[in-house]
């Protein structure tokens, strides 16, 4: 028997002459994208490319998260809860990818990282404008953070605009109020430039929604209940991302200070105490069996 030809014929309908056509590379801008990795170590260290691509890919995903959260808020403001939940569901899947991605960077050992860490100088993930935009969109507003971006007018302007905009939680609570739920006026009229502050009366609202969801005759507010759980998923995923970030940094640099001047792992650990939707966790203690 003859040896089989281990190739696949190119079908006659496949476009091969792309001189005057849109190509895969031109559509995605791959010439620019794949030429955007510029290791700074001298001589170039093998593992610096991993470090750069890890953070660049994170920024691409964050760009999509911002895109989805922007639209989710607009949809909530337009009373289109179902469509907004679709956007949030997509964000949740992106979060899973971002969290799993830390396992790739965790292959970078302390011995390898220390050989090019100095090339980062003062560059730090703390300076990610897109990460701050996501935190602002979810409600963790902090006006002093804008100081970090004073040297970049575009980033500073984007964050200043986001500071003025209602968060995802703000828009959800406003939707609940329009649906007849007793959301307190002080919550609806709060200064959106500041982080959300825990409201005990708001826990009462969620208690009614969650209690209603358990009624055997069918829940009147099931859609709102579903939305509450989607937001809890969103926060849980965010906290998992923060934790994996902390653990990856801990195994790579130990207790060293961050390249941007932060206390390093201690700074990241304190972020785990921050919450976006505190009443959605408090309601779990309130519910009775």
- Binding site feature residues for substrate: 51-55, 113, 117, 259
Alpha-carbon distance of 159 to 155, in angstroms, equals 6
Annotated binding site: 51-55, 113, 117, 245, 259
Burial 126-165 (b: 16+ CB within 10 A, else e): bbbbbbbbbbbbbbbbeeebbebbeeeeebbebbeebbee
Residue 120 DSSP one-character state: G
Other Cβ atoms closer than 10 A to 121: 10
Distance of CA 81 to the CA centre of its chain: 20
Alpha-carbon distance of 32 to 147, in angstroms, equals 30
Which residues have C-beta within 8 Å of that of residue 237, sequence separation ≥ 6? 92, 95, 96, 99
Annotated binding site for heme: 245
Distance of CA 95 to the CA centre of its chain: 6
- Tell me, letter by letter, the H, E, C secondary structure of 150-176: CCCHHHHHHHHHHHCCCCHHHHHHHHH
Report how far apart the first and last C-alpha atoms of the chain are (Å, whole number): 74
Q: Residue 101: name the closest of 244, 254, 253 by CA.
A: 244
């Amino acid at each position: 028997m003859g040896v089989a030809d281990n190739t696949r014929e190119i079908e006659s309908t496949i476009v091969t002459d792309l001189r005057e056509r849109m190509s895969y590379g031109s559509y995605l801008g791959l010439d620019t994208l794949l030429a955007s990795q510029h290791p700074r170590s001298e001589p170039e260290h093998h593992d610096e490319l991993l470090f750069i691509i890890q953070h660049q890919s994170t920024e691409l995903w964050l760009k999509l998260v911002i895109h989805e959260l922007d639209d989710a808020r607009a949809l909530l403001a337009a009373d289109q809860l179902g469509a907004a939940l679709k956007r949030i569901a997509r964000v949740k899947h992106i979060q899973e990818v971002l969290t799993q991605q830390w396992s790739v960077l965790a292959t970078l050992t302390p011995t390898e990282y220390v050989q090019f860490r100095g090339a980062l100088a003062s560059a730090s993930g703390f300076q990610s404008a897109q990460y701050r935009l996501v935190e602002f969109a979810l409600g963790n507003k902090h006006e002093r953070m804008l100081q970090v971006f004073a040297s970049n007018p575009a980033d500073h302007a984007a964050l200043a605009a986001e500071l003025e905009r209602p968060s995802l939680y703000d828009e959800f609570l406003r939707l609940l109020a329009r649906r007849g739920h007793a959301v307190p006026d002080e919550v609806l009229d709060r200064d959106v430039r500041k982080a959300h502050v825990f409201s005990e009366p708001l826990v009462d609202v969620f208690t009614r929604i969650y209690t209603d969801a358990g009624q055997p005759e069918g829940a009147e507010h099931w859609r709102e209940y579903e939305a509450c759980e989607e937001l809890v998923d969103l926060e849980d995923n965010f906290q998992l991302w923060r934790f994996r970030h902390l653990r990856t940094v801990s195994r790579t640099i130990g207790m060293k200070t961050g390249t941007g001047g932060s206390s390093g792992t201690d700074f990241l650990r304190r972020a785990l105490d921050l919450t976006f939707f505190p009443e959605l966790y408090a309601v779990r203690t309130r519910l009775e069996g």
